[in-house]
């Protein structure tokens, strides 16, 4: 099976703009509660895919510019299986209870590994050993400072079998007053037994993955935009092609084709004879920055009027210079 390469991680780091769906190794799934999931399935050496999932999560949250964040990680078997199901001796359970109050990095893991009472439990040693290895990889990825080992972390789903993680935003008191309290914005972990539950032959397929809370992230961004008073722009259109004349659809179509061929994001109203005021009001409502206007006079003189929607200033530009002038203005804005 091929390795999980940089091409796929970079695609996910952009999250919404470029989602790749390679075959075999990686599965991207959209589920009913508005999240985007990324999973790696297959038999690999310990903690390598787990570390890469955490790297991907860091890249996504950094790319979205949501602010500072922290990813808490724990080990499902250490916290839940050992205490709730394995019937450990009371003194061992009490010792783990002490560590539940702590959080930190690899130093905390090493401290637990050296604890004589914990070192007597094979499952605890295996889990902590894997977590130490995970932190080595996270350090190589340059994200260890974004990760905190926190035994108080628990995921509500019972199919997790190993490392679990959850990302939360870190806020100043001022930001906390302005923002919604949405809890975690991303989470995930290892679930080695889940796929086998749906296989008639019970084949075990180790898996690890992460889920990005799209709905929660949108709620945060909308709240921040509302607080700042910014206007939400719902289109990427840069230029609108307009006319004050009737029967000028053909000229508008030729002009917009020139803009599209130059890589300029342009649009027009899908009407034969729209009123100029209607077209200008549309641009103001949608936040389109520039309007190009073509009419009988402009066609006769070989020029196009270029209008700034914000200032309402208009200048006549020779048609052969129009694309260059638009690109110049867009680069300066």
> Read out DSSP for 259-286?
HHHTT--EE--S-SS--HHHHHHHHHHH
Tell me if 252 is assigned to a ligand binding site.
no
Nearest to 93, CA basis, from 109, 81, 82: 82
Buried b (16+ CB within 10 A) or exposed e, 301-333: eebbbbbebeeeeeeebebeebbebbeeeeeee
Nearest to 322, CA basis, from 292, 298, 295, 299: 292
Tell me if 158 is assigned to a ligand binding site.
no
Tell me if 159 is assigned to a ligand binding site.
yes
Nearest to 330, CA basis, from 286, 273, 292, 278: 292
In angstroms, the CA 51 to CA 141 distance is 8
Tokens, residue 176: 């906390």
In angstroms, the CA 40 to CA 190 distance is 10
Tell me if 282 is assigned to a ligand binding site.
no
Cβ atoms 220, 185 nearer than 8 A: yes
How many Å is the Cα radius of gyration of the chain?
28
In angstroms, the CA 151 to CA 79 distance is 6
Specify binding-site residues for L-histidine. 39, 155, 159-160
Specify binding-site residues. 39, 155, 159-160
């Amino acid at each position: 099976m091929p390795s999980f390469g940089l091409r796929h991680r970079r695609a996910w780091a952009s999250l919404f703009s470029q989602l790749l769906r390679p075959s075999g190794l990686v599965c991207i799934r959209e589920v009913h509660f508005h999240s985007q999931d990324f999973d790696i399935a297959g038999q690999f050496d310990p903690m390598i895919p787990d570390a890469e999932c955490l790297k991907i999560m860091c890249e996504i949250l950094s790319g979205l510019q949501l602010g500072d964040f922290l990813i808490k990680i724990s080990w499902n078997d250490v916290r839940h299986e050992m205490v709730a199901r394995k019937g450990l001796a009371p003194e061992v359970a009490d010792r783990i209870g002490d560590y539940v109050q702590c959080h930190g990095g690899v130093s905390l893991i090493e401290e637990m590994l050296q604890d004589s009472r914990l070192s007597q439990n094979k499952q605890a040693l295996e889990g902590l050993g894997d977590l130490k290895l995970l932190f080595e990889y996270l350090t190589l990825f340059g994200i260890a400072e974004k990760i905190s080992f926190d035994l108080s972390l628990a995921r509500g789903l019972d199919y997790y079998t190993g490392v679990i993680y959850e990302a939360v935003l870190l806020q100043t008191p001022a930001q906390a007053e302005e923002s919604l309290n949405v809890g975690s914005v991303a989470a995930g972990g290892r679930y080695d037994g889940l796929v086998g539950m749906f296989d008639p032959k019970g084949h075990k397929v180790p898996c690890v993955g992460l889920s990005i809370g799209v709905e929660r992230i949108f709620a945060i961004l909308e709240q921040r935009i509302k607080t700042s008073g910014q206007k939400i722009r719902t289109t990427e259109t840069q230029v609108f092609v307009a006319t004050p004349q009737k029967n000028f659809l053909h000229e508008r179509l030729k002009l917009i084709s020139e803009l599209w061929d130059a890589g300029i994001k342009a649009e027009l109203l899908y009407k034969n004879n729209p009123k100029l005021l209607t077209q200008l009001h549309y641009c103001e409502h949608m936040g389109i920055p520039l309007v190009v206007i073509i009419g009988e006079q402009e066609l006769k003189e070989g020029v196009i009027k270029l209008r700034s929607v914000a200032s309402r200033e208009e200048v006549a530009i020779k048609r052969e210079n129009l694309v260059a002038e638009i690109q110049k203005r867009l680069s300066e804005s």
